[in-house]
Chains A and B, each alone.
Chain A
Amino acid sequence: MESTFQKRLGWSGAVVLIALFALVPVIWIISLSLKDPTTIGDGNFFPTKFTTSNYSSIFKQSIFTDALRNSIGIALISTVIAVFIACFAAYAIARLDFPGKNVLLLASLAIAMFPPISLVGPLYNLWRNIGLYDTWPGLIIPYMTFALPLSIFVLSTFFREIPWELEQAAQVDGATPYQAFVKVIAPLAAPGIFTTGILVFMICWNDFVFASTLTSTNSAETVPAAIAAFPGASQFTEPIGTIAAAAVVVTIPVIIIVLVFQRRIVAGLTAGAVKG
């Protein structure tokens, strides 16, 4: 039927538009990173003169390679700890009844709603006093704290999807609560946990406010903060080329994660309603 063909054409057209919409800025920043510095101001979308000097220059600077190492390490550790803690709390919220449940949820929501820019001052002073300034724990702790509200929300939604009867059936069959959890519940919860992990990793990878105020040297500065310290050709020149190159390098792992794990991400943010 022609209307189906028309419909399919319509949707394919929509898909092309969506792909363009999503990819144009990404291709643009790749193009900027490959443009010869003298042609940066020419306004062309694609480079007329190619160069890889931006990439070689950022990898020569330890400020960037150290920042990359810091970003990866800090984001991974924060993710693991945040998800771990959130699992316990989410299980309690999804499964158990206790006074204070609403207070906990409201408090989490409040933390998620507070403007982060105002929290850096008190945190900075606190970290200075206990010696956590410019260290990995100094960033890991705030990251996992501010990732907890979203993690608890997503995980508790996942846990609610898991039928209680399974656990009890296992126990009636003679399993201990621990065995019931490990053999029955954990495998079902795994996708949700994994998805939450990806979401938390993105939040940590993305952060600029905390990274720029709670770090100062190569030991803990992450990539978003390090980009702000890239020198240009002179005091007044903005290093568009190197910023673009750094942006591309930092975006590639994220794109790979998104491409490989798109099913999990979709499942996580659609509260498990869409399994792909």
Chain B
Amino acid sequence: MSAIQATGTGTATEQTPRRRHLTDRVKAERRLAYMLIAPAVIVMVLVAIWPIINTFILSLQRADLRFPQNNQFIGFDNYGSVLSSPLWWADVAHTLIITVFSVSLELVLGMLVALAMHRVIFARGAVRAVALIPYGIITVVAAYSWRYAFELDSGWIPGLFGIKSDPLASTTGSYIAVIISEVWKTTPFMALLLLGGLALVPDELHEAAKVDGASTWQRFWKITIPLMKPAILVALLFRTLDAIRIYDTVVIFNNGAHNTETLSVLASNQLLNRLNLGLGSTVSVLLFVLVGIIAFLFIKVFGAGASPTGGD
């Protein structure tokens, strides 16, 4: 059978002089591609795209879950209310504070853990396995564990640090608690993404630099970091997108009290407590837009994902 009729293989191993055959192959390739992606596309469209579109539609209406027959189209009024509400901007600030602090901490700690995972030869498997444990714990469980750890009576942290006041009864304390819980849970994920980039830095460069008399610190900043830039950007992108949507941890700690209410908690309050589908959907859409803006910034401005290790 000629390679021309074979489906699915992209590179031509034979030179075909006539354009008609190329087009046939291209057509066959496309047909196969569509058949292959069909199940995924169908599932995603039916199950995910429909609710997303529904959310957009609801955000343009005055809608109460209890009275679906009274839904009223009001255009962008909801967007006006939300964007002019000081509560929205306060929650944006809370969300950004948690995101910036937790992602930066995760980056630093993740880098340290990645370096350790890379360098350690002895019991490498065990080290990596232990470092991965937080990744495997259910977020809700991790949040409970850290919450009970911080509580004034039942927790071990106040006793250890001699804290007499309730850490969770202050804004700063609540932020610290939530951020520590988040950082603990996701540092392994960050460490792994960074480890991928670390493993691609050729040892020869380090050897050459050592010969030239460069110190460890200099080698780290002048060789490792620049070469890891794609991996760092991808790691930051993924983690930031997740951190902005933080929900489980905040709810378990104190449901957004003490100025820790994040945008997801705000959306859930309007949607599930107030049953105000219009406002709740608007907050969700705006949150999505915010996430999109961050993704855009990372991809287009910082160039995340542009290299082979970064994926597509």
Contacts and interface: CB of A to CB of B under 8 A. Distances in A.
Interface in A10-51: 11, 14-15, 18-19, 21-23, 25-26, 28-29, 32, 40-45
A265 interface: yes
A164 B131 CA distance: 35
A250 B141 contact: yes
Contact of B39 (A88, A157, A172): A88
Contacts of A95: 8-10
Main DSSP-derived SS at the A contact region: helix
Contacts of B30: 96-99
Contacts of B281: 118
B52 A262 contact: no
B140 A227 contact: yes
B10 A43 contact: no
Interface stretch (A52-60, A61-69, A203-211): A203-211
Interface string B209-240: 00000000000000000000000000000000
Contacts of B43: 85, 141, 144-145, 148
Contact of B141 (A91, A148, A240, A251): A251
Interface stretch (B80-88, B96-104, B155-163, B168-176): B155-163
Nearest to B125: A262
Contact of A145 (B47, B145, B159): B47
Interface residues of B, number: 99
Contact of B271 (A89, A121, A206, A274): A121
Interface string B127-147: 111111111111111101110
A92 B144 contact: no
Contacts of A88: 36-37, 39-40
A122 B158 CA distance: 43
A29 B154 contact: no
A119 B48 contact: yes
Contacts of A254: 136-138
A202 interface: yes
B288 A113 contact: yes
Most buried by A among B112, B272, B312: B312
Contacts of B131: 18-19, 22
Contact of A269 (B189, B267, B284): B189
Contact of B40 (A26, A86, A98, A101): A86
Interface residues of A, number: 96
A43 to B, nearest CB: 5
B205 interface: no
B121 to A, nearest CB: 9
B17 interface: no
Contacts of B10: 95-97, 164
A122 B192 contact: no
Nearest to B43: A145
B288 A266 contact: no
Nearest to A71: B138
Interface stretch (B71-79, B195-203, B253-261): B195-203
A109 B138 contact: no
A240 B290 CA distance: 37
B277 to A, nearest CB: 7
A46 B125 CA distance: 28
A98 B272 CA distance: 42
B178 interface: no
Contact of B295 (A22, A45, A109, A177): A109
Interface in A153-201: 153, 156-157, 164, 167-168, 171-172, 177
Given A28-B149, A240-B154, A244-B145, 11 more contacts: A22-B133, A42-B153, A114-B55, A115-B267, A117-B271, A117-B272, A171-B3, A177-B9, A208-B248, A262-B132, A269-B193
Interface of B: 3, 6-11, 13, 26, 29-30, 32-34, 36-37, 39-41, 43-44, 47-52, 54-55, 65, 112-113, 115-117, 119-120, 124-125, 127-142, 144-146, 148-149, 153-156, 158-159, 184, 187-189, 192-193, 195-197, 199-200, 241, 245, 247-248, 263-264, 267-268, 271-272, 277, 280-281, 284, 287-288, 291-292, 295, 309, 311-312
